[in-house]
């Protein structure tokens, strides 16, 4: 009896193994571990009561809130590089302004390629080096 895998299933498996291997190389870098509150998205600020958050765990996963919907998924981190996803989220509808902010937040996570923690803020950058998100640690 032989087992056959289609090309899409094989590709999904290879991606999952790659993400797991990247996360298994070590624990979450100490500056990232924990809970973070989004203070700014792309230089446009945030709605004060929205509370977009990210929590990094020591298993190479993230979870949090986009301000309206909850999300979770893998994160691959190597030195100062990082890549999120694929992320799963709930699909609640919220007010227009909140949905716009959440869309910008998820787009920023999708485009993030590196990070820097300066002792006060966690900054996430895209490939060209533009600041996508500025976050502060939640206690």
- What pTM does this model have? 0.77
Mean pLDDT in consecutive groups of 10 residues from the start of the chain, 139 residues: 45 42 49 91 90 92 95 94 94 92 96 93 96 93
Q: What is the CATH number of domain 7-137?
A: 2.40.128.270
38 φ, ψ to 5°? -75, 125
Per-domain residue ranges for the chain? 7-137
The candidate with the shortest Cα–Cα distance to 116, out of 57, 31, 40, 36, is: 31
């Amino acid at each position: 009896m032989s087992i056959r895998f289609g090309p899409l299933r094989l590709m999904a498996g290879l991606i999952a193994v790659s993400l797991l291997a990247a996360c298994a190389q070590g624990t979450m870098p100490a500056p990232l571990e924990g809970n973070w509150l989004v203070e700014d998205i792309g230089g446009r600020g945030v709605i004060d009561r929205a509370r977009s958050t990210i929590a990094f765990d020591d298993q190479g996963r993230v979870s949090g809130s986009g301000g309206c919907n909850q999300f979770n998924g893998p994160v691959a981190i190597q030195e100062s590089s990082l890549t999120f996803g694929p992320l799963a989220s709930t699909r609640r509808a919220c007010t227009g302004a909140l949905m716009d902010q959440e869309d910008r937040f998820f787009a920023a996570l999708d485009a993030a390629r590196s990070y820097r923690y300066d002792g006060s803020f966690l900054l996430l950058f895209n490939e060209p080096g533009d600041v996508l998100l500025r976050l502060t640690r939640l206690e």
